[in-house]
Amino acid sequence: MQVTIKLATREGAAHVSGILAGFTLLAKRGELTLRVQDERQGSPLAREALLETEIDGRTVVFDLMDGYWYNRPETVFPLYHSADIIFKRSFSSVKNSEVFGAFSEKIHPLGFNYHVFCPGSPLIGTTSKIGFLKKRIKGVTCYVSDYEAKMTHVSARPRILFITRLWDPAEPVVQTDSELVRQWGEINEMRMLLVRKLRAAFPEQFIGGIQDSPFAQTQCPDLILSEHSTWKRIYLHRMKHSEICIASTGLHQSSGWKIAEYLAAGRAIVSEPLCYEVPGPFQAGENYLTYTSADGCIEQIRTLLAHPEQILQMGQRNRAYYDTWLRPDQIVTKALEQAKILL
């Protein structure tokens, strides 16, 4: 199989890192021949988390954007029009028809997403060796194995994790859209309330807080964590030693990176309802419990704490889902298998 990746995104590089890692891993195993064209200089798609690929002469697009929001829709729609098939992270059959009309039949669910690398990734080559080592130490640059763990038992006092950030509604990109200002405000309020409620309900078991930022300092100085404690490598260590992990809705109703990270580590998950479809057997009640309020989140955690066998079973199901559907080489393999059938 001949694959050419047209790497055009700059701002969306973190979003597409997992797909690039997947293609790189498959190429290293000899399952495909990979060529990367660096088209980032002056690209109209530099701000979009999109990857255009040519696979055996057909155009396959990977859309890793949050929801259906694009920085420059006028540059995205022509790409959708010319593509033979599109795999979209934030996938909704209803919204596909509303936004893309006739193109919607070409769009298929891609699944969860997270910021991950592998040795040899095209994105690593853009960083100096010293810069890369610094990022590895802090955990900014994490390989596939850095996220992975398996739950083999549940401790007598299971730990609960929720480390999150706030979004500043004063960002210029938001100020032109009153609906975005409202959405970002709601996300922030829910996250702050969750941290306060979790701290109060589980003072001995909860690990978490808000990442430091100028905006967070004005909103919740009492909830801010130290910079060191939010380094990615420290966070991943805490995640792997927490049986129950909490997720909240991301920007544009997207499923945040944390869900994919929790799945890689085989954790039990309590999350707001998912707004978008994912491939494979991933279901509420089996792979995660849902909440629609901070108090509801507390109740779902108490349900799990009362049944530790459910924590273990959910964690094991989630790691199995990751191994089959989400690990970078697997998410690309599943897409390629589907593309081969469809094309």
pLDDT in tens, 127-143: 555 565 566 555 678 99
**Residue whose token pair is 């919607």:** 104
Per-residue model confidence (pLDDT) at position 133? 59
Residues of the chain with pLDDT under 70: 125-139, 341-343
Which element (helix H / strand E) includes 189?
helix 178-201
Residues of the chain with CATH 3.40.50.2000: 145-326
pLDDT of residue 178: 86
Q: Where are the alpha helices (DSSP H) in 284-327?
A: 294-306, 308-321
The order of strands in the sheet holding 50-55 is 33-38, 2-7, 50-55, 58-63, 85-88, 107-109
Return the structure tokens found at 31.
């399952």
* Strand ranges, E, within 153-228: 160-164, 206-210
Pairing between β-strand 244-247 and β-strand 268-271 as defined by DSSP bridges: parallel
Q: Give the class (CATH, top level) of 145-326.
A: alpha beta
Q: What are phi and psi of 21, to 5 degrees?
A: -65, -40
**Helix, strand, coil percentages, rounded to 5, for the chain:** 50, 15, 35
Tell me, what's the pLDDT at 290?
98
User: If residue 30 lies in a helix (H) or strand (E), which one and from where to where?
Assistant: none
Tokens, residue 257: 């990176």
Amino acid 343: pLDDT: 55
Nearest to 51 by CA among 144, 129, 123: 123
Say how far apart CA 115 and CA 18 lie, in whole Å.
6
Tally of residues, the chain: 343
Reported pTM? 0.94
